[in-house]
Amino acid sequence: MGKIIVRILRVVLALLGLIGINIGLLLYLRRRINKTAKPYTASPQCSDGSDEDNKADQGIIKIQLNSEDKIVSLEEGLLAVRYDGDYRFDEFLRQGGASSDKELIRFLTRQLKMDTSDLQIETKGFGCSTIAVPGSEGEMFFGRNFDWYPCNALIVEAHPRTDYASISTVNMDFIHVGTRLKSLFMSDDMVSRTALFLPLDGMNEIGLCVSVNMIQDQTTIQQHSGKPDITTTTAVRLLLDKAANVEEAVDLLSRYDLHASLNFMIHFAISDAEGNSVAVEYVNNEMIVTDTPVLTNFYLEKAKYGIGTSQSMHRYRLLMDVLSSKQTMTACQVRDTLNSVSKHNYHDGETTEWSIVFDKTAKTATYYHKEKYQKGFKLSLDD
């Protein structure tokens, strides 16, 4: 009976291929077809739901991924994978990077031996909130909300051969496969190698954290100074792989011409284990750096300050008010602060698809999926 169901679903997938299907849906369907044992260890660290400030975070499940390049389901809509080895990012940089999503797709499909019509990158706008704060016991935390519509998220733990290891997050619904039948059956390795070039946030083993936050503006970022080219998501990969702190991250970005993916105006929140946190913004294609522990979805640069959404300014003020009242926080308090600015508070049709508490000192990332803040998935780069 099981084999018959698998065959039927494969036929359905093939028919969906005639009109195109996004990789997130493909992965979901594949997980439903093959519900094998999950190749990670999960151990609850706490049993009750207490939110007392002096207690460790509650309801946490520790996730230790195996280095088998297999994508696993943590829960519906939240996937994870560990990738060890060379994913050819240095080769991408050596050949000049990419000045557009099409050029990035051309590089990826060449590496994966696919046709360029097999991959597309597309999405609507998204909102975000980030906060950097010292911990009450000497830690350094970075909190991140990713606000969008319901999607499939993929956590990618990368262990390259020569660069820094990292944990990052990809919205798999941004990636679409085309009409060719072979696209519907991309291997986990192919999906992982594609996702490695498309992170929206992350932390590396030195404790550097990066987040992409969108700004609602008519302009975009298209630098043309003759330097090598990077797109929004490959800029995040560049920093996670090669920057140890904010100073190195800003220097690295200055060596490349940035081209905004999908022509969205964005800015980066960058924070390190030394306690430095900045916003990197682009005005008239000029990079501007502003010291700040909080970033949402409007400009902080003086000439364009406030351009963005009114809701993002409200979230910004709430986060700054929290910081003014609390010089330090526990991991629980960072989580609860993210909850206070998550999308269920605004009733605008979007959801906070994932929230992350990065502990830059312990090198851990705790994920809360779809605003379920009573349950977290914790990954560690020290495992």
As a whole number of angstroms, the distance between CA 68 and CA 80 comes to 12
As a whole number of angstroms, the distance between CA 217 and CA 307 comes to 7
Residue 185 contacts by C-beta under 8 Å, 6 or more apart in sequence?
A: 13
Q: Among 64-73, 149-158, 294-303, 362-371, which is the least confidently predicted range?
A: 64-73
Percent of the chain at pLDDT above 90? 69
Tell me how crowded residue 94 is: count the other CB atoms within 10 A of its CB.
Answer: 10
Helices and strands (H, E) in the chain, number of each type: 9, 22
Condensed to tens digits (0 to 9), the pLDDT of residues 236-259 reads 999 999 999 999 999 999 999 999
Q: How high does pLDDT run on average in the chain?
A: 85
As a whole number of angstroms, the distance between CA 69 and CA 80 comes to 10
Residue 59 contacts by C-beta under 8 Å, 6 or more apart in sequence?
A: 44, 46, 49, 374, 375, 376
- The pTM for the full model equals 0.86
Condensed to tens digits (0 to 9), the pLDDT of residues 271-319 reads 999 999 999 999 999 999 999 999 999 999 999 999 999 999 999 999 9
Q: Among 44-48, 134-138, 190-194, 378-382, which is the least confidently predicted range?
A: 44-48
Q: For residue 187, name the pLDDT band (cuts at 50, 70, 90).
A: confident
Residue type for 100, please?
A: S
pLDDT of residue 350: 81
Q: How many CA atoms lie within 13 A of 215 on its CB side?
A: 26
Percent of the chain at pLDDT above 70? 79
Is the sign of the CA dihedral 339, 133, 166, 229 positive or negative? positive
Buried b (16+ CB within 10 A) or exposed e, 150-171: ebbbbbbbbebeebbbbbbbbb
Distance of CA 94 to the CA centre of its chain: 24
